[in-house]
Chains A and B, each alone.
Chain A
Amino acid sequence: MFLKKIALAGSMVVFAVSAGSACEIDARVSIVGNEFAAIQAVGAAAQECTGAPVETNLTSEHQTINVAGLSGNPSEYTTAVIANSSIVALMNEDVIRPLNDLVAKHGDGLQQGQLIKIGDDIMAVAFMANAQHLMYRKDVLEKAGVKIPTTYEEMLEVAKAIREQGIMQNPVGGAYAAGWNLAQEFNNMFLGYGGTHFKPGTAEPNINTEAGVKALNMMKALSEYMNPDFLTHDSNATNAEYRAGNVAILNMWGSRASQQTTTEGVLEEVINGHAIAPPLTVGGGTTPASTLWWDGWTVGKNISDEEAEATFVAMKHGIRPDMLNDETSPLAVWLIEGYEPTDAAQGVFAAAQMGTTAYPMLPYMGLLHSALGNELADFMQGKESAEKALTGVEAAYRAAAIEKGFLQ
């Protein structure tokens, strides 16, 4: 993995030199963001800029430090790489600046679709899209004699067939770890059943509904076919199970698709059998039980205009069309001009075409997500009813929303 990163960075330096693409900046740039491969590549490309230091701090703990790191004046970081969920926290705290003037000055080459507009303000530049969709082992499904599922109801049948034929005891994988992951799986299923998280135009929760109960019951039914430790399996652990050949079918992030077969130590049968498919629908609905995401970068508010300009130039250099090559293209579904979708990208594209709902970009969604993550575990363990769990979520959310001033 380490060697690969070096090779990747090396190849990009060579590429930059040979392409002769110049990036001159005259003020410091400091990047904070998540650590997956696609963002690593953007960070490395931004670091090609010369004239002033470009520092990166890419860590899975980015969201616990980005608000604080952008709050000082001048702030530690000049840019945060965020997704549609985490930009909300930065906007709530008013630590990122509108980019309209910088886009007008340096924005040539950016596509309209990349600009994240909140009202009249451009608040971020997106560079990749993400969604959870189906991944499965075609060899196992063939052996069991079942079709590729398109709905969660079919997924249950597939799982039943695989278990009954003794091919795998727990064929279904899922990132159901109590906390953020479990809440996200609920969001998927809830939207798939046609639910909406809030009463329109208010911060009042709206999840203790028929759609909410159905979503929980479907999750419970799926968990019967999962490793009994499922409440401790986050997406990393779930992927490890898949790569070890213990799981045949799962709903997983598109950004992980290309690494399912290239990570060290993956079983041969998994490499040969791995396949991806569009996200599943549920309950006869047409909207997939998934959410659409984008990742992009912002520019901090509490920095000098020179630093802001340098940051914009360097980050734009990080996502310029030239940075796409054989190494970087498969890493993500890029929103960059000239990107040719690879095989690993078809799941996310299918999700977009099927009209998957975007993850709600609301100031209070983070609080509901946390409440879901904390309160659903009891239901999944069969200790309480779905209605009671959802009442608990709404009560926990309400307490938090009153504290933060979203509800009175």
Chain B
Amino acid sequence: MRHKTFFWFFLPTGLAMLLFIALPIVSVLIQSIFAPHPAVLVEVENCTPLVGCTTETTIDQEATAALRAKQPLGRFVGLDIYFDRGHVAIQEVGKIWTNFEGWGPFFSELGDLPFYRAMAFTLTFVAVVTPLTIVLGLMIALAINSLHRHLKGLMIFFSLLPMIVTPLIGSLILFWMVDSRGVIGSALVALAGDPNFSLKASTGLMWVALMVYGVWHAAPFAFVVFYAGLQTLPADQLEAAQIDGATRWQQVKYVIVPHLMPLVTFVALIQLMDNFKVFEPIVGFNAAAHAQSLSSFIYNDLGGETRQLSSASATSVITIIGVAILLSPVLVRTWRDFKGSR
């Protein structure tokens, strides 16, 4: 395509991307380097029912309004919020590092800082769920593809159900099942032989439950993509492999998987992004005590009685950076393929 043609072809998309993707990111960046002005506090007498009057501290609205009018964006704090304890916690990590007493205590101290604890869970989640989703999706696609054509439609519908169900509802259903009075929960109690056994009380088991949910929810997506890919598989290649005496496993390994490889890359990209932003199951499972992610931090910052916009913005930017780092190997590879094919 000529450059000029490409330009006009791309312009509407480019404008939309600028408006709906680039500008919000810039706005979030700006919010993350500004924080509210120092509060001007005054002591006043508060009178409330049943308690009577007491002296309490409150914000001096007039003085604060004057400060705000002078500098509407707030005070400039640079990267302070990125480096505070709620985020990368530079000072705290430095302190832990100077008191280094071996890796065990180091990691346990690090785990007390919310950001690193969230990273530990998020990265484990990404590392476990992404490959499992791809493998399971491929297995379902292969299984359904080999079914009789009358059965296919029905089976495709059922396989897609986990993706059709709203994520929060899906996680709630699983949450009730693993409750100590739920189906899976009581089965586990019977298996463990301990009436106090509880999946929800154990961090390890809660992680497993969250990851099972993650795979359950995302596998249909991988399945649909792979199933579509299977329809484009040239029949003569498979026949050739069969004539050469390839077993079913060998056909999958040497013919089908290489054919689907670009799709695997695509699914991996999407899944890496989605899994890094894991959120719904943490809310649905009430798992805040055991697992947090950057997205749940943003939710907490904005959902509390006092909203922390700057903190939420900083976490958003860190999320974008994290996704970029995670995707870089795949992107680099795609870029090389692109260069090579030219």
Contacts and interface: CB of A to CB of B under 8 A. Distances in A.
Interface of A: 63-64, 67, 84-86, 88-89, 91-92, 94, 113-119, 126, 129, 169, 177-179, 201, 203, 227-232, 234, 292, 294, 335, 352, 358, 360-367, 369-370, 374, 377-378, 380-381, 384, 388, 392, 395-396, 398-400, 402-406, 408
Given A335-B49, A405-B37, A366 B286 contact: no
Contact of B85 (A230, A352, A396): A396
B201 A117 contact: no
Interface string B189-222: 0000001111011010000000000000000000
Contact of B41 (A118, A363, A402): A363
11 contacts: A63-B305, A67-B307, A117-B47, A119-B46, A126-B48, A179-B300, A201-B57, A232-B287, A294-B49, A369-B304, A405-B75
Q: Ordered nearest first, which 3 A-B pairs have the shortest CB separation?
A: A366-B305, A119-B44, A366-B306
A84 B56 CA distance: 13
Contacts of A364: 306
A129 B65 contact: no
B38 A408 contact: yes
Nearest to B306: A366
Contact of A227 (B39, B46, B180): B180
Contacts of B86: 396, 399-400, 403
Contacts of B179: 229
Contacts of B310: 403
B51 interface: yes
A367 B39 CA distance: 14
Given A92-B39, A363-B57, 16 more contacts: A64-B303, A91-B59, A94-B65, A114-B49, A117-B47, A126-B48, A227-B198, A294-B48, A358-B48, A358-B51, A381-B201, A396-B85, A398-B85, A404-B306, A405-B35, A408-B38
Interface size class of B (residues with CB under 8 A): 35 or more
Contacts of A129: 49-50
Contacts of B36: 403-405
A88 B288 contact: no
A332 B58 CA distance: 29
A229 B201 contact: yes
Contacts of B45: 117, 119
A143 B53 CA distance: 45
Contacts of A360: 56
Interface string B290-324: 10000000001011111110110000000000000
Contacts of B286: 177-178, 231-232, 234
B50 A292 contact: yes
A129 to B, nearest CB: 6
Which one of B58, B77, B114 has the greatest number of beta carbons of chain A within 10 Å?
B58
B39 A405 contact: yes
B24 to A, nearest CB: 17
Contact of B308 (A114, A231, A398, A404): A404
B138 to A, nearest CB: 34
B121 to A, nearest CB: 13
